[in-house]
Amino acid sequence: MINKKIISELEKIVGKKNVIISKEELVCYSYDATLKHHMPDVVVKPATTQHVSKIMKLANKHRIPVTPRGCGTGLSGGSVPVKGGIIMSLTRMNKILEIDKENMLAVVQPGVINLDLDTTVGKVGLFYPPDPASKNQCSMGGNIAECAGGLRGLKYGVTRDYVIALEVVMPNGDIVRTGARTVKAVTGYDFTKLFVGSEGTLGIVTEITVKLLPIREHKETMMAMFKEIKDAGQTVSNIIAAGVIPSTLEFLDNATINTIEDFKHLGLNRTAAAMLLIETDGYKEAAIREMNEIIRICKETGAIEIKKANNEVEREELWAGRRSALAAITRLNPSLLQEDIVVPRSKVAEAAVGCEKIWKKYGLRGANYGHAGDGNLHPSILSDERNKEEMARAKKAIREFFELAIKLGGTLSGEHGIGTEKAPFLDLEVSPEFKKAMMSLKKAWDPNDILNPGKIFYGRRY
């Protein structure tokens, strides 16, 4: 499909050194943070919107699949080129174009790292709220494609809530601008929100305008341990019902607590069924008052241990456990299958108990943690991809995680996207009519199905 002539055309667009064809180099672009991988035929690294447009025109003319790629840190296979063709690596487009303090917004290219944006706007007293766990190494383009979330989602929302305008190259190479730099905008359809979370299947984002918030004056942090998962779940419900919105409300189950303790020796209570890590922020008086209310609720719901940070060092100590969760559980087994289910907040406890039952039923090792305040859990199966029999059991368990989430009125993914990994389960949640509507939109904009093909809709069922 890709011959020397096409390679030469690509080289004319972006320069020879920005076109990769050796298999040894291509393999470095064949994966993301899932176990999925597939070799592209060529990697192209554009530096401008015009480059992207020309590449798309060429690809569309010759029906070549194009998979956009940011930093390859995704957790759903979104940037894996499952149909081969072109990987369009957007890491050269990594400039922060503008910071508008007065209007509290920033304009960035897709290759900008989330942390770099947050650090830069921090210098003028602002912050960019979406903070995925990979914020040190994930790109804004990838954040847009997957609608990344993070720890602050409960109070501050997700990527979609901050993107107000985009420049997008369509599959046919057309360059469109959506949204506006204003607080309000209802001129035409809201394509901005449509592109966010579209997993690079509808267009390639080349410029992003996000709104920002002023840095909060003060933070209060506490940790509470519970004997039963249901007590932790009740605590989450009661906090929300009391009208208190913490900036983070994280959940860790007994398996996660124990693996962290094995690895970090933080003195966590190994017998606790669940741990909540809670933070409030805002004006000092307000954050303290909210935290006092949360502590009162935790006591009421039977917390067996409550620890509040009295200074920055203690705050760091409390966070050390949560931050090392992924590290701790992945050190147990080499292959991590991490899911991203969301349930209504009131069902978090039921979902957590259900997930544990599922992995035990299949004789697997699992752990669960997540953003309890959002109802977003990351049940994880610890496995070894080289053990085929165990992987088959793991896949069955994962299917049951999804069935459980849907049964509880939830959804397949909160912040990782469908990609290839959840595509086989799409029909569990999405009606044939809605799927048809989505596919007809995709077909209208990308009739040759060249842009990130094989994602979202095309999962093989198992």
- State residue 135 phi and psi, 5-degree precision: -60, -25
Element at 274 (helix H, strand E) = strand 274-282
CA–CA distance, 237 with 300 (Å, rounded to integer) = 13
Helix residue spans in 79-149 (DSSP H): 114-122, 140-146
CA–CA distance, 454 with 77 (Å, rounded to integer) = 10
Residue 1 found at the interface with other proteins (CB under 8 A): no
Supply 299's token pair: 């006591």
Residue 30 found at the interface with other proteins (CB under 8 A): yes
Residue 29 found at the interface with other proteins (CB under 8 A): yes
Residue 31 found at the interface with other proteins (CB under 8 A): yes
List of residues 6+ apart from 453 with CB closer than 8 A: 65, 82, 83
Residue 4 found at the interface with other proteins (CB under 8 A): no
Q: Which CB, 159 or 338, lies closer to other proteins?
A: 338
Supply 242's token pair: 């009391």
Residue 120 found at the interface with other proteins (CB under 8 A): no
Chosen residue from 63, 331, 360, 461 binding other proteins by CB under 8 A = 331
Question: For residues 177 and 205, is the Cβ–Cβ distance under 8 A?
Answer: no
Q: Which CB, 138 or 140, lies closer to other proteins?
A: 138
Helix residue spans in 28-137 (DSSP H): 49-62, 114-122
Min CB(268)–other proteins separation in Å: 18
Min CB(317)–other proteins separation in Å: 18
Min CB(58)–other proteins separation in Å: 22
Chosen residue from 1, 25, 218, 447 binding other proteins by CB under 8 A = 25
Residue 206 found at the interface with other proteins (CB under 8 A): no
Min CB(326)–other proteins separation in Å: 5
Chosen residue from 50, 137, 238, 258 binding other proteins by CB under 8 A = 137
Min CB(333)–other proteins separation in Å: 9
Min CB(98)–other proteins separation in Å: 21
Residue 385 found at the interface with other proteins (CB under 8 A): yes
CA–CA distance, 229 with 333 (Å, rounded to integer) = 25
Element at 224 (helix H, strand E) = strand 218-226
Look at strands 42-44 and 86-89 and give their pairing: parallel
Q: Which CB, 247 or 380, lies closer to other proteins?
A: 380
Q: Which CB, 22 or 431, lies closer to other proteins?
A: 22
Residues 35-54 that bind other proteins (CB under 8 A): 37
Q: Which residue type is seen at 62?
A: H
Residue 138 found at the interface with other proteins (CB under 8 A): yes
Q: Across the beta sheet with 380-383, what order do the strands follow?
A: 335-338, 380-383, 365-367
Chosen residue from 49, 67, 76, 89 binding other proteins by CB under 8 A = 89
Q: Which residue type is seen at 83?
A: K
Which among 387, 259, 386, 269 has a CA at the least distance from the CA of 328?
Answer: 259
Number of C-beta neighbours around residue 178 at 10 A: 23
Residue 22 found at the interface with other proteins (CB under 8 A): yes
Min CB(139)–other proteins separation in Å: 10
Q: Which CB, 23 or 357, lies closer to other proteins?
A: 23
Min CB(260)–other proteins separation in Å: 12
Min CB(9)–other proteins separation in Å: 22
Q: Which CB, 122 or 214, lies closer to other proteins?
A: 122
Residue 91 found at the interface with other proteins (CB under 8 A): yes
Supply 90's token pair: 């957007």
Question: For residues 130 and 212, is the Cβ–Cβ distance under 8 A?
Answer: no
Q: Which CB, 33 or 426, lies closer to other proteins?
A: 33
Number of C-beta neighbours around residue 82 at 10 A: 20
CA–CA distance, 318 with 193 (Å, rounded to integer) = 35
Q: Which residue type is seen at 167?
A: E
Residue 92 found at the interface with other proteins (CB under 8 A): yes
The residue ranges that bind other proteins (CB under 8 A) are 20, 22-25, 27-34, 37, 71-73, 89, 91-92, 94, 115, 134, 136-138, 324, 326-327, 330-331, 334-336, 384-386
